[in-house]
Every structure is written in C-alpha cells, then in structure tokens.
Chain A
C-alpha cells in the first residue's frame, strides 16, 4: 500500500526515489526541487557531476555527453528546437562545478555570449567529487581535497559575477537549503528568453567531511554566514535575496572536516573576505552593477 503511494508519487514528481548518490547528497535534492516547477515539457541536458547520478532518476527527456561538453550540446538541441518550431520546450543545461569553472568554462562563456535560450545550472559541490574529491576552480580557499591535502591556497572563482558580466538577462545564486527561493528563481528564469544562469550550492557530506544528517543544516550555514550568499542579477541590476545578519564563518567552517586544518589567520582571512563581499553586495543592492 505504502509502496503504491510512493510509486505514484515518483511518477507525479517526475523523479524516482533512491538515486545512486551518497546519502545526504544535494544532487537528487536539487532535481527534486527543480522538477516541482519545470514541468513535463522539458529537456534536460547534462552529465558529469556527482549529481549525474541523480539525473539517471529524472523522468523527463535527458541527454548528455561528457562534462567537457557543457552548454554546447544544449546549443545544438536549442538550434534543433528552433528548426523544428518547438521553442515551447524548456531547455535546462546542467553542469557541476568542475565543468563550469574549468574544463567547460569557455563553453559556458560562449553560450552566454550567444545568449542561448536555456537555463544553465551549476550544481556546485565545490570539487570533482565523482572521481574522488579533487580540487576544482570552485573549491573554496583552505579546503582539503585529495589534490590539495594541505588546503587549497587559491581562491574560488566568482562564476555568477563572471557570467553576469556577459550581460545575460538573468543570473542567480541559490541553495537547496532554501528551496522556496530556488523555485522562485527557476520560475523567473523560465519566464525569460535568453541565457539564464543559476548557481546552486549543493552539499557533499562525503567530500566536505561531515555527517550526512547535517547536509541541509551545513548548507544553510553557508548561506547564513554569507560564505555562499543568495542574490540575483536581473538585466544587470543586483537584488540581494537574503539580507539577514551574518553568522560567524567559523560556525560554517568548523562544521566540516575539510576545513579542519585552517589556522586562526586563515579563518580571519576568510571572515574578512566574506565581510567585504557582504558589504559590497549590500551597498550595491538595487543598483545596476553590469554596464
């Protein structure tokens, strides 16, 4: 009886329960939330990240190549949709952080420059997790990975602002810990024609080193401490989504094993960077920041 209820639910929700992702992975959580607004008339193009394991569970048409092909296969699908007069179809192109920041960085930039009509999602778990936790351009400063065992010494690329600088109609940051905000941003993206980019932080208990049960709690802390702030850039105008007081970054960092080796100086550095970013965002809130 319970099984039938769930089987029907998976059909209605367009996502099969029980992915091959790790317990507590934000990937299936992201797609579960996204599919609540996307609808059946959707094609998802995406492959590569850990969240790919979740993509095997979605029940809308899905096509992917490898992670060096972000946004370009989707560009082709887009052209086919135009050629066939099927621009009613919603096209989502999704990529992990390694694909977005590193190997397909140029691809995303080019798709943004061409203003391809698609929603480009970055599912950011802050390292190449699928291959066993190697650093990417979106791994934060100080984080342990297998290729940065003493902690990453370089900074995290500011992908949302880089994409915004391409003058695309809509860029947003989102978090699976704030699903209502994420859904609102997806719905807004669906209503706009052109290149839309939504950067979503998704937790990785395996790579960030914490108890899977804390997955949502830690992700929330990332937003609440302003390490991963929530905002939109719509037609070049900045809108900060969440303006609450910042919790100390230390709370966020100490909740994860990957930041275990940070020194006092490093934590202070991170706090000052986060404070600067917060001040910037709050000062520019409501203003046109892309010219």
Chain B
C-alpha cells in the first residue's frame, strides 16, 4: 500500500457538527462517512488532507490540523 503523505488532516468537533452530510457528499476520495450514530468518521489511511470537507462544512465543525495531531 502506498504511503499517504499528508500535511494536514481533518478533525471534527462532534458538538458543532449538525450531521448534514455535506462533507460526505463532497469528499473527492470517499474518505468521510456519517455513521448510523450520526458521527463523522474519516479514513486516515486514504484521506489526502485536501480540506474540501472543512471548506464546505456549513458550521465550521471540521478543522484542518497538522498531520499527526488529529
């Protein structure tokens, strides 16, 4: 498996998140999902840290933090 080289990674504040699913819709890599418990999860094996999810989130619940600190 190729190594993911990522400068920033998404981190979600579950309290601010309203589970609208916009981040899930727009993640280009299918690495954001909304669980049945309405929690946002990321697949850090494949996420590239592009930041689209954070940019599109209407409540700014996702922050792009330095890789390794998510």
Task: Look across to chain A and name the residue whose beta carbon is closest to the beta carbon of B41.
Answer: A2
Produce 1/0 per residue, A210-223, CB < 8 A to B.
01111111000000
CB distance from B35 to the nearest CB of A (A): 7
Q: Assess the A17–B30 pair: CB atoms within 8 A.
A: yes
Q: Assess the A213–B50 pair: CB atoms within 8 A.
A: yes
The reply on A10 being an interface residue by CB < 8 A is yes
CA distance A5 to B42 in the complex (A): 10
- B41: contacting residue among A5, A24, A28, A211, CB under 8 A: A5
CA distance A283 to B48 in the complex (A): 44
The reply on B12 being an interface residue by CB < 8 A is no
User: Which residues of chain B from 21 to 36 have a CB within 8 Å of any chain A CB?
Assistant: 25-31, 33, 35
Whether A24 contacts B50 in the complex (CB less than 8 A), given A179-B25, A214-B55, comes out as yes
The reply on A48 being an interface residue by CB < 8 A is no
CB distance from B22 to the nearest CB of A (A): 9
Q: Assess the B26–A216 pair: CB atoms within 8 A.
A: yes
Q: Assess the B43–A3 pair: CB atoms within 8 A.
A: yes
User: Which residues of chain A from 26 to 41 have a CB within 8 Å of any chain B CB?
Assistant: 26-29, 32
- B33: contacting residue among A5, A179, A205, A215, CB under 8 A: A5
Task: Look across to chain A and name the residue whose beta carbon is closest to the beta carbon of B64.
Answer: A213
Residues of B contacting A26 in the complex (Cβ-Cβ under 8 angstroms): 28
By size class, the interface of chain A is 20 to 34
Task: Look across to chain B and name the residue whose beta carbon is closest to the beta carbon of A220.
Answer: B56
User: Which residues of chain A from 189 to 243 have a CB within 8 Å of any chain B CB?
Assistant: 205, 211-217
Whether A216 contacts B55 in the complex (CB less than 8 A), given A17-B43, A18-B48, A23-B49, comes out as yes
CA distance A6 to B26 in the complex (A): 16
Task: Look across to chain A and name the residue whose beta carbon is closest to the beta carbon of B31.
Answer: A17
Residues of B contacting A25 in the complex (Cβ-Cβ under 8 angstroms): 28
Produce 1/0 per residue, B29-70, CB < 8 A to A.
111010100000101011111111011100000001000000
Residues of B contacting A212 in the complex (Cβ-Cβ under 8 angstroms): 50-52
Residues of B contacting A15 in the complex (Cβ-Cβ under 8 angstroms): 30
Residues of B contacting A205 in the complex (Cβ-Cβ under 8 angstroms): 50
Produce 1/0 per residue, B1-13, CB < 8 A to A.
0101000000000
The reply on A9 being an interface residue by CB < 8 A is yes
Whether A216 contacts B52 in the complex (CB less than 8 A), given A2-B43, A18-B45, A18-B46, comes out as yes
Task: Look across to chain A and name the residue whose beta carbon is closest to the beta carbon of B36.
Answer: A5
The reply on A79 being an interface residue by CB < 8 A is no
Q: Assess the A215–B43 pair: CB atoms within 8 A.
A: no
Task: Look across to chain B and name the residue whose beta carbon is closest to the beta carbon of A205.
Answer: B50
Q: Assess the A18–B64 pair: CB atoms within 8 A.
A: no
Name 5 A/B residue pairs within 8 A (Cβ), A-sorted: A3-B45, A5-B33, A17-B29, A17-B30, A32-B28
Q: Ordered nearest first, which 8 A-B pairs have the shortest CB separation? A: A18-B46, A213-B51, A23-B50, A29-B28, A23-B48, A212-B50, A24-B50, A213-B55
Interface residues, chain B, with chain A CB atoms under 8 Å away:
2, 4, 25-31, 33, 35, 41, 43, 45-52, 54-56, 64
